[in-house]
Structure 1
Amino acid sequence: MVTLGDALAQTSSQLPAGGTGSTGSPRDANVRQVVLGIISFTRWPVPPARVRLCVVGNTDYARDLLAAPAGAASSGSAPPVDAQRQSVTEPAIGSLCDALYLGAVSDTERRQVLASLAGHPVLTISERNDSCTLGTMFCLNVDADRVTFDINLDTVARSGVRVHPNVLKLARKPGTP
């Protein structure tokens, strides 16, 4: 069983290049660990048997997320995660996804995607830190040797999903150093 401490330690660890299961760079592997860690400590109103992770937009670090075999386990007793690309214009994205990984999109596309999620319990994670002020829950900060994240607490509160409070404590609120 993976404890919260174990998962949180993984979020700041650095994997060697070409680490186990990695098809991309160490940054891709680190992003995968952080995203799967966040997913593992998220609870939906109706627990999914498999978490459907949708990847939208042009991404820099989603290669390992998409390359994982279908049903890859996030950790411990968390449900398996199936990652797939979705179109930014998919109107049913809120019912097709339990979690959304957002890459680079235009402001209009971001508004469209987020509007499509309204009323659906979807965890949102963005590669772009500026998105934390624009409607996503978690925003990644990808450095050469680690991945951290910021959080938009208002968006979390309105999302319909619950995130373990200790994960929330790790995040920086937007605008804080």
Structure 2
Amino acid sequence: MKIELTKGDITKIKADAIVNAANSSLLGGGGVDGAIHRAGGPQILEECKEIRNRQGKCKTGEAVETTAGNLSAKYVIHTVGPIWNNDEEKCSKLLANCYKNSLKLAESLDVKTIVFPNISTGVYRFPKELAAKIAIEEIRNFESKIVEKVIFVCFDEENEEIYKKLLDSN
């Protein structure tokens, strides 16, 4: 899989699937989640409500998909990142599951290009350097004959610099 890095607005990136750093309610929120719901329109929220009615909340580390509404992507893959609580082992495992489960779901949807935000590094306060290491490691270790390209989209320069340094060092 090819890995790319860009800084900008995840809702403007062209890809088959955009990963949403959702909360467990799936009903929208702040940060990336709010931006995706605003740009994608009400169809995404309606589909999220249907998923909730069917299965309840989305558990941390799991992923579900909706169509992408007004976005240029075909799908939004909603994954719930962990809220950092200083339990590094548990939080790291849950964050790794966000990437693994999003990629597995992407494969099942025949997604060739997928875009990831910096999951859990905003209001969930996951340490940015550790989160980037986990994200890159999970992407590199995931073997796929379907997914061809992963794009990390950083909202701020701090995350962009961390990802750039880690991607260049390997």
Name the TM-score, length of structure 1 as normaliser.
Answer: 0.38
Name the TM-score, length of structure 2 as normaliser.
Answer: 0.39
The answer to which structure, 1 or 2, has the higher relative contact order (CA under 8 A, 6+ apart) is 2
